[in-house]
Structure 1
Amino acid sequence: MFTIFITSLCLILIAASLRQIFNSLEHDHKIFSFQVFLSILLLYMIIMTGFGMIYLCFITQGIPVYMDSSHTQPLPWMEEMGRSMYFSGMTLFTVGYGDMIPIGAGRWIVILEAMVGYSLPAALVIKVWQNVHHGER
């Protein structure tokens, strides 16, 4: 039950952050600004942290979501949080060094996170392009 609550809360936070960045781009008529850059950076941090917390929540409940080649035993909470954040970042930015791989339920969570990480830059470019062309009319 705890896992479902935390997962839902993180997904709601991620969705709200995505909605906020697109709304701010709609009302900001500049193509790019330092504020937009910081907003996008913050958005990525929220998404990475949110999914990292989801992975950590599953792991603390005894549900494996990734396998780390360097550690076979569970780590203390703070170290496990670091691993979860690292795994989330590598997934979000579709880097995937190969030192950690998704397993079990983690495979489905990874697909969702990778879709967000892969489609977000394209969606942001399209949104800015639409705003520029609507401003010309």
Structure 2
Amino acid sequence: MGIMAWLIIICIAGILTTSLIGFVRGGKIPERMQMQESRFSAEIFYTLLIIYLVVIIGFGLVYFVLSMSHVLLVENSELRDESIVGSLMRSIYFSGVTLLTIGYGDITPIGIGRLIALVQALIGYVLPAAFVLKLVQNNQDNRERKKDML
């Protein structure tokens, strides 16, 4: 595999890692975007949706870049030669199915793709728990601030 493909993979991995670490650590939220105390918040929903989309597209691009040098995803136990757009769509589809832990089984990773899919499935499994913990932490912080104001 060429050095350009590895550079692209490293950049994508860096963006994914930075996004996930920033989410888990909880960066500064502007005052106008502070989460409101309610049972459902559009901000929370959109944040989670964007995180999932970033991870799905990021891993989809990793699968796509790796598939350019060799076959990484096998569909219905057959090796297929597809166009670039078809390969990109298949990579993003597989990424979404893996992250959401649906796993239909119609596309199977081979080689290093198995390890990458395992890491992505782990992220898909842990991300909702991290999100809930983040919400609980924010609610506790808000309650403590309100107590200090009184």
1:77-103 CA-to-partner distances (Å, cap 9, x unmatched) read 001000000000010001000101121
Alignment of 1:58 onto 2:60: no
Which position in structure 2 is the counterpart of 1:75?
82
Gaps of 5+ in 2: 145-150
Equivalent residue number for residue 4 of structure 1? 6
Structure with greater Cα Rg: 2
Given the alignment of the two structures, is residue 121 of structure 1 paired with residue 123 of structure 2, yes or no? Answer: no
CA contact (8 A) 1:11 1:50 kept: yes
Matching residue of 1:17 = 19
Question: 1:3 Cα deviation (Å)?
Answer: 2.2
Q: Percent identity?
A: 32
1:24-39 matches, cutoff 5 A: 28-31=34-37, 32-39=40-47
Normalised to the residue count of structure 2, the TM-score between the two structures is 0.81
Aligned partner letter, 2:117 = V
Query: Is the Cα contact below 8 Å between 2:35 and 2:41 reproduced in 1?
Result: no
2:28, 2:99 → 1: CA distance? 22
- Work out whether residues 94 and 118 of structure 1, in 8 Å CA contact, stay in contact via their aligned partners in 2: yes
The answer to which structure, 1 or 2, has the higher relative contact order (CA under 8 A, 6+ apart) is 1
Write the distance in 2 (CA, Å) between the matches of 1:35 and 1:130: 16
Partner Cα separation in structure 2 for residue 91 and residue 36 of structure 1: 23
**Matched-pair contact (CA < 8 Å) for 1:55–1:65:** yes
Relative to the length of structure 1, the TM-score reads: 0.88
In the alignment, which residue of structure 1 is the partner of 2:49?
Answer: 41
Residue correspondences, number: 136
Q: CA offset at residue 106 of structure 1?
A: 0.3
Provide closer, same or farther for how the CA distance between residues 70 and 107 of structure 1 changes in structure 2, counting only shifts above 3 A: closer
What is the CA-CA distance between 1:136 and the residue it aligns to? 2.5
Q: Which moves more between the two structures, 24-33 or 14-23?
A: 24-33
**Runs (5+) with no aligned partner, structure 1:** none
